[in-house]
Amino acid sequence: MAIQKPTLPKGTRDFGPLQMARRNYIFDIIKDTFKLFGYQQLETPSMENLSTLTGKYGDEGDQLIFKILNSGDYLKDVSVADLGAGAGATLSKVSEKGLRYDLTVPFARYVVMNRNEITYPFKRFQIQPVWRADRPQRGRYREFYQCDADVVGTDSLICELEILLMIKQVFSQLGLNDYAIKLNNRKILTGLAEVIGAAGRESELCVAIDKLDKIGWEKVQEELIQRDFEQAAIDRLNPIISLQGSNTEQLDFLSTFLATSEVGLKGIAELKEVFELLTKYGEDEKFVDFDVVLARGLSYYTGAIFEVKVNNVSIGSVSGGGRYDDLTGVFGLDGVSGVGFSFGVDRIYDVLEELNLFPEKQLEGTKVLITYFDEEGKDYGLMVLNQLRNSLISAELYPDAAKIKKQFTYADKKQIPFVIILGSEEIEKKQVSLKNLLTGNQSSCTLEDAIIEVKNLIGD
């Protein structure tokens, strides 16, 4: 029988100890920040009923949901006629569940199912994997983590303020100090469409304008003409495309530019209030840039929209979000508004790696390895091991009888900083030999003194 070579499903990956240590470094900073701001953690099942998932992501999104075959004889209800009619007719009879595509729809389902127990405003965060049957490519996986935080049940702009503050806090702790939180408001985009004479067409307008960074204003104008925008309307956009100045100066200019649009002026007022709240909180506008052409999630965002980019790296946006009016309407519960955003942990990982910002001490692993020469040393070593762990020092006893050189090689490869050596002399005197592998220093001492020395040097 041929030996099967193990492989991974396309678009998935393993995370070894080093990657896990680095990922947990990012997750821990994000989690601690969410908790500091009063967010509570939520987890939902990996699988949802297909009826919950389908119809929420558009036709294209529905195609990307991983379906789970019913257990047992999943073909028992399928007729020859069903097979002839194609996948649509067969699917409902062979699959009732699917892997979750994002964390937002499961969150909406949770809110509806628990609406009477939830305390509003409800601040939740969720860090879990999601699955998409996408074509794998660099930076795009079929299994990846999302890291979402949302507040539902309030229209207060303090929530928008807190998103800015959380992003700043996380990035500061990660050592990132060259980035931009781009901020806009969907109402301003609606207003822009109105004042140039293309009311109701902001989605088309924004799809084109969104490419400004990549293709330039001339090409964007060509695309707008192809989309049947009049040249006069496009010309009216000129001052917007070249808009510069501080956040306040840009918003003041827009107050005049959008003077005839009630909804546009409301968007400006909301953003001005967010900047005022930032000042009252005692923070400045550093890293926060108003961006009149920022457009994202136009089918569901209704107020503020955010996007975060780290400067001078090859990775795109690392975080984004916005305010929405109706999270739970698809499940029959109207009027639940909120604001949310997510951190792209995989992208943040790539940024920290590119900028060499991961801390040196990443593998918080074993601090002490106990080595010995014979059975007597092994028995004495078990008692030493117990004492070290009782002192909350991560320790291991080398499990097999082996040459001392082999035991030391193990310590080197696992980057264990201290080795305790137990020979007949140490056992007789009820002492240990402690060697610091970073400095090469070695001394004989009591176990109590060894514990104090290790604790001092590892900073506990």
What pLDDT digit, counting tens, does each position of 126-142 carry?
999 999 999 888 778 99
- pLDDT band of residue 300 (cuts 50, 70, 90) is confident
Q: Is the pLDDT of residue 82 over 90?
A: no
Q: Is the dihedral of CA 172, 174, 179, 181 positive or negative?
A: negative
- pLDDT band of residue 459 (cuts 50, 70, 90) is confident
Q: Is the pLDDT of residue 79 over 90?
A: no
The token pair at 321 is 């979000």
Specify the pLDDT at position 335.
85
User: Among 190, 211, 186, 188, which residue's Cα sits nearest to residue 202?
Assistant: 190
* 417 vs 364, more confident: 417
Q: Give yes or no for a contact between 66 and 46, defined as CB atoms under 8 angstroms apart.
A: no
Specify the pLDDT at position 362.
61
Specify the pLDDT at position 460.
54
Distance, in Å, from the CA atom of 166 to the CA atom of 65, rounded to the nearest integer, reads 31
Please give, one letter per residue, the 3-state secondary structure of 121-158. CEEEEEEEEEECCCCCECCECCEEEEEEEEEECCCCCH
Specify the pLDDT at position 295.
86
Weakest-pLDDT range from 1-5, 339-343, 356-360, 415-419: 1-5
Specify the pLDDT at position 422.
96
Specify the pLDDT at position 458.
81
Distance, in Å, from the CA atom of 351 to the CA atom of 357, rounded to the nearest integer, reads 8
* 78 vs 392, more confident: 392
pLDDT digits (tens, 9 = 90+) for 240-299: 988 999 999 999 999 999 999 999 999 999 999 999 999 999 999 999 999 998 988 777
Q: Is the pLDDT of residue 385 over 90?
A: yes
Binning the chain into helix, strand and coil, the percentages to the nearest 5 are: 45, 20, 35
- pLDDT band of residue 430 (cuts 50, 70, 90) is very high
23-28-30 Cα angle (round to 5)? 100
Specify the pLDDT at position 57.
87
- pLDDT band of residue 200 (cuts 50, 70, 90) is confident
Domains of the chain with bracketed CATH: 17-354 (3.30.930.10), 368-458 (3.40.50.800)
Q: Is the pLDDT of residue 305 over 70?
A: yes
Share of the chain above pLDDT 70, in %: 99
Specify the pLDDT at position 363.
60
Residues paired with 456 in a beta bridge: none
Is the pTM here over 0.75, yes or no? yes
